[in-house]
Amino acid sequence: PDDGQGETGVVTKTKPKTKRPPLYKVLLLNDDYTPMEFVVHVLERFFGMTHAQAFEVMLTVHKKGVAVVGVFSHEIAETKVGQVMDFARRHQHPLQCTMEKE
């Protein structure tokens, strides 16, 4: 068979690889001290959730220990984590926010 690479009898196929950027999950972690209302506010402010959505997600973190609060490109995820960590530190709450590759 002619693969256009000489008469070697070997057909090499090149995959049409479409490069999608990797996505990152932003995780919010539970702790014993951050007030529930503060977490709800963070979710509204930085993740565009309605009050009802934010309350629901906050309760999930409170009960399960952790929840994914959004999925973003690396740059956006880093920005969100930075904003949450900075906001929590400024208000002296131990709230933790991290990211991981999906």
* List of residues contacting ligand TYC (CB under 6 A): 28-32, 34-36, 39, 58, 61-62, 95
Q: CA 94 from chain center: how many Å?
A: 19
Residue 99, SS3? Answer: strand
**Nearer residue to ligand TYC within complex by CB, 58 or 99:** 58
In the complex, the smallest distance separating the C-beta of residue 34 from ligand TYC, rounded to whole angstroms, is 4
How far, CA to CA in Å, does 85 sit from each of 9, 21, 88, 93, 100?
59, 25, 5, 9, 15
Residue 98, SS3? Answer: strand
- 3-state SS of the chain: helix, strand, coil percent to 5? 40, 20, 40
**Nearer residue to ligand TYC within complex by CB, 26 or 58:** 58
**Nearer residue to ligand TYC within complex by CB, 11 or 66:** 66
In the complex, the smallest distance separating the C-beta of residue 77 from ligand TYC, rounded to whole angstroms, is 17
In the complex, the smallest distance separating the C-beta of residue 95 from ligand TYC, rounded to whole angstroms, is 5
In the complex, the smallest distance separating the C-beta of residue 90 from ligand TYC, rounded to whole angstroms, is 16
